[in-house]
Every structure is written in C-alpha cells, then in structure tokens.
C-alpha cells in the first residue's frame, strides 16, 4: 500500500501521467471515490502518460471510452450498471484479454467480476478543496512493482 497526496487538479493529472509511464498491456486499474474526487482527472493523466493525445472524458453514459495508442486504454464508468450482465453484453471479458489497459471508475460496483490481480486506487478529498489523498493497493507482483516506481 502507498499513499500519495496531491494539492491540485494539475498534480492529480501529473500523478496519472506518472502511472501511465509504467503501465503495461493487460493491467487493470480500479478507481474508487465519490463524485468529483478526481477519477477522471487521474485517468486523463494516465492516458497522456501512455502517449495518447485524445481528449479524455468520463464515460458515464457510454459505459466505455476507448483510446487507441501503443497501449490501448479502455476507460469504463460502471456507476450506472445495474447488473454485471450488462458488462458481459458489451464484451467486458474481451477488454480484459491482455492487449490494452482497463481503467474502471466505480470499480466497487463490480468487485465480484474483477480479475485476480489489479491495482486499486481509492481517492479521498483532503482538508483543502483541491487536496486529494490517493491510496494505492496492489493485488499481484506486477502492480506491486508499479507502486514502487511512484
């Protein structure tokens, strides 16, 4: 486990970019935190860190946004998922095939179908309006190694 504090949206973006520099195909990154905590801002940085220049938005209504690059990023927002079967209907298992990186906002809603190994990032609002506390928990050596790099 590792905790990292950011003091602005720019610092949150920079943390995401740093994570993006170390991710590998097949990784799954789970994000949890209340609305406005910074899940999408962190994802924007991760996508940029992989070298993708696309404009990143939360896939609240589309469920998944895909960003193509040297490592494809599949950005899910499962807040509106009422049943995990909905994810299977859009081919969720195929996204986990190892070719890209899956980022899951509101991952706690689908914990029962997560793979055995993943990086779990909990985001809490800090004392000041723009402060964020990131708690990173690794499930698996690949993710433990990633945390050590940060």
CA nearest to 64, candidates 85, 33, 95, 38: 95
Q: Give 15's Cβ-side CA count (13 Å radius).
A: 25
pLDDT band at 25 (very low <50, low <70, confident <90, very high): very high
Edge-first strand order for the sheet with 132-139 is 2-6, 132-139, 118-125, 28-32, 101-105, 73-77, 64-67
Average pLDDT over residues 116-137: 96
Backbone dihedral angles phi then psi of residue 3, each to the nearest 5 degrees: -110, 135
pLDDT value at residue 31: 97
pLDDT in tens, 51-64: 999 888 888 778 89
Give the pTM. Answer: 0.93
Average pLDDT over residues 114-122: 96
Q: Are 120 and 41 in contact (CB under 8 A)?
A: no
Give the chain's domains with CATH numbers: 2-149 (3.40.50.300)
Q: Give the whole-number percent of the chain exceeding pLDDT 90.
A: 72
Q: What is the Cα Rg of the chain in Å?
A: 14
pLDDT band at 71 (very low <50, low <70, confident <90, very high): very high
More confident residue, 42 or 90: 42
pLDDT in tens, 73-116: 999 999 888 888 888 888 888 988 878 999 999 999 988 899 99
Joined together, the tokens standing for residue 65 give: 């946004």
């Amino acid at each position: 486990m590792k905790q990292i504090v950011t003091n602005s949206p720019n610092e949150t973006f920079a943390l995401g970019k740093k994570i993006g520099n170390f991710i590998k195909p097949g990784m799954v990154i789970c994000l949890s935190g209340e609305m406005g905590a910074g899940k999408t801002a962190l994802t924007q940085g991760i996508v940029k860190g992989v070298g993708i220049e696309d404009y990143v938005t939360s896939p609240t209504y589309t469920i998944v946004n895909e960003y193509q690059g040297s490592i494809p990023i599949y950005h899910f927002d499962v807040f509106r998922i009422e049943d995990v079967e909905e994810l299977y209907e859009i081919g969720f298992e195929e996204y986990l095939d190892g070719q890209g990186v899956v980022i899951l906002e509101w991952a706690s809603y689908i914990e029962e179908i997560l793979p055995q190994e993943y990086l779990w990032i909990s985001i809490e609002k800090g004392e000041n309006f723009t402060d964020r506390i990131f708690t990173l928990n690794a499930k698996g050596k690949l993710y433990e190694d990633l945390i050590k790099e940060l």
